[in-house]
A and B are shown apart, each in its own frame.
Chain A
Amino acid sequence: MLDGIMTGLTTAVMPFNLMMVVLGCFAGTFIGMLPGLGPISAVALMIPITYGLDPASGIILMAGVYYGAVFGGSTSSILINAPGCASTVVTAFDGYPMAQKKQAGKALALAAYSSFTGGTIGALVLLFAAPALATVSLSFQSSDYFALMILGLTAVAAFSGKGQVIKAMIMTVFGLMISTVGTDMMSGAPRFTFGSIDLIDGISFLLLAMATFALTEVVMTVLKGQHREEEPEMDMSSLGSMKLSKDEVKEIAPTVARSSVFGFLVGVLPGAGATIASFLAYGLERNLASAKQKLQFGKGALRGLAAPESANNAASTGSFVPLLTLGIPGSGTTAIMLGALIAYGIQPGPRLFIDNPDVFWSVIISMYFGNLVLLILNLPLIPYISRLLAIPRPILIPLILFFSITGVYLVSFNTFDIHMMVFITVAAIFLKLLEFPMAPMLLGFILGGIMETNLSRAMTLYDGDLAFLWERPLTLTIMIISILVLLMPLLARMFQRPAKKPASDEEVSYEGEG
């Protein structure tokens, strides 16, 4: 492991890669601050840029953007009560009241310290957990992989929020359907190409990701008329002190430690990402607080801000565990990264840390640098970065649209791709209006090809018999977990029914899952 850490360290400290971390954190913070655009959109916008870089630098840049976007989302939650993404919705509960009390500086600093601690604890646990899990998963066979893909897909559907499970499963199947468009890898037969040469290679991952997450999200802001809203007024002179007193540090230290570990564990679960972690950590902290402290929640409680901030960053780090070790993403954002890695010709999974140790270790090491950059560089620069929010939306929106479109065009130089993006965007807007989540579709699309290959291998080995699903204990275990995960929302509803709980804050859609 020490060799690996050294490999990662030497790759991550290369000046160019350090620059990528800094650049990624800045770009992520800015994009994350824009209401409506979360980490998924931020990372999607970066894909075309990373295509020109080597895999390690590319994934380091994307990881930087990821943290930056989560942090940027917190900033807009605190300053203007407009969460940039779902995972920072809870940050606004106590962060914005603090800003109203002229303690915005303190709230931002607290968010940064909590994020830093959460991210650091997460990165440290990842340092030990990922190689251990990867070693175990080296014994996996094609049937186990197939079962893992099923687990990844069902987990995303199961964690998609109340009343959304069937819709998320439909979207997963839809994503799998899209992945079958193009030439069949095994027989060479064209599938669903309708005689078009442009569809022979299938639909590119970049195109689908950009159309559903960058283009659609921006167009949705126009559809809702958000571009006409007045630019947020932020009085930077009344930020207040960024210092925390000793007592305050003492008060939040246990919260940060608890929420970090808790957030990391939630993040590791495939499908559960930063959003769920932040909501659960907030709920946990409120339950642990005394009756007197409970009253403070929602009115600017330090613990109420520290808990979700530590948890969402730790969960962001945690979601890299299933990605790097098993090749199944823990969240929508890591799903995009998985797609980008596959596009590089790198297959994330158990063999990643043997075949591409530089990518594996440098991502882990650069996560720590990313958190450091956010704390040292971003925090003091927040007053300046948030000025970018003052750029009028009517100017900003066409620019983001332009970057999304040309990002795809400059890879293929085929204008058919732009027409295809428009078509997919129209379909995505329609589906969003019907409240269908987009992340499961992208995950289904990304995992579709690998799933089909492994299913084909397993079925050929067993001569068409489905016994491979239960003959190997490991495959059977993973399949049972998948079924349990799938049944979880149903069971939860059955157990909750007699209690008739009133609607709570946690009843949110995790569509913008970070």
Chain B
Amino acid sequence: MTLTKDHIGGLVFLCLSVAYGYYAGQIPMFPGDEFEPFHAQTLPNALAWAGGLLSIALLVTARRDRQHRLSLGGYDFQLVAYLLVLVVIFAIALEWVGFLLSTLIFLIGGYWLLGVRQIKTLLIASVPFAAGIWFVLSQLLEIYLAPGRLFTMIFGG
């Protein structure tokens, strides 16, 4: 049997609906809530059933020809993974080194990952932009941007 995109999708959502239904049963309720016509579990339970039934419908009606098979060739997953890791690093850097430096790290890292290698371009496309955005946010719009834990630890604050 050919496993197509529809089959994979159907199976994933079937598992998701089962898990959702299980956790829907774990939602805490006040004593006597079960006698109410509508409570915190009502909609989640209905959705779990709806999700499960639709997933089964997708599995039953799935297109079975080869052209609907999941083909992962030609996609650059590695680069996407690096980019997403860069986003996570940006989030961590925001807490530790503050907005300005983390923006610089993110932009230079992003340009570098996408193939820009000239140092001049890397700096011109990032430093003025990061400084400009920081200036607009913190000085013009007066939004408080935390300096970063590292600086607070070193210089106090």
A, B co-complexed: yes
B94 at interface, CB cutoff 8 A = yes
Complex contact B37–A464 (CB within 8 A) = yes
Complex contact B23–A433 (CB within 8 A) = no
Among A427-461, those with CB < 8 Å from B are 429, 431, 433-436, 452, 455-456, 459-460
**Which single member of B24, B51, B80, B90 contacts A219 (CB below 8 Å)?**
B80
Report the nearest B residue to A225, measured CB to CB: B76
Complex contact A426–B28 (CB within 8 A) = no
For the complex of A and B, list the 5 residue pairs with the smallest distance between their C-beta atoms, beginning with the closest: A398-B110, A464-B37, A394-B114, A418-B91, A184-B40
Complex contact A425–B84 (CB within 8 A) = yes
CA distance A419 to B80 in the complex (A): 15
Chain B: interface size category: 35 or more
A191 at interface, CB cutoff 8 A = yes
Digitize B76-109: 1 where CB-to-A-CB distance is under 8 Å, 0 elsewhere.
1101100110011011101100000001001101
CA distance A422 to B90 in the complex (A): 11
CA distance A173 to B6 in the complex (A): 17
Complex contact B77–A223 (CB within 8 A) = yes
User: In the complex, what residues of A have CB within 8 A of residue B110's CB?
Assistant: 397-398, 401-402
Report the nearest A residue to B9, measured CB to CB: A434
User: In the complex, what residues of B have CB within 8 A of residue A191's CB?
Assistant: 24, 27, 40, 44
User: In the complex, what residues of B have CB within 8 A of residue A114's CB?
Assistant: none
Among B11-44, those with CB < 8 Å from A are 12-13, 16, 20, 23-24, 27-30, 33, 36-40, 42-44
CA distance A431 to B143 in the complex (A): 36
Interchain pairs with CB closer than 8 A, number: 167
Could you say which of A30-38, A162-170, A312-320 contacts chain B? A162-170
**Which single member of A176, A190, A222, A425 contacts B28 (CB below 8 Å)?**
A190
B contact residues vs A (CB 8 Å cutoff) = 5-6, 8-9, 12-13, 16, 20, 23-24, 27-30, 33, 36-40, 42-44, 47, 50-51, 54-55, 57-58, 61, 63, 70, 72, 74-77, 79-80, 83-84, 87-88, 90-92, 94-95, 103, 106-107, 109-111, 114-116, 121, 125, 129, 133, 137, 141, 143, 146
Q: Name the residue among A180, A224, A228, A435 with the largest chain B CB count within 10 angstroms.
A: A180
A395 at interface, CB cutoff 8 A = yes
Q: Name the residue among A170, A410, A415, A419 with the largest chain B CB count within 10 angstroms.
A: A170
User: In the complex, what residues of B have CB within 8 A of residue A421's CB?
Assistant: 87
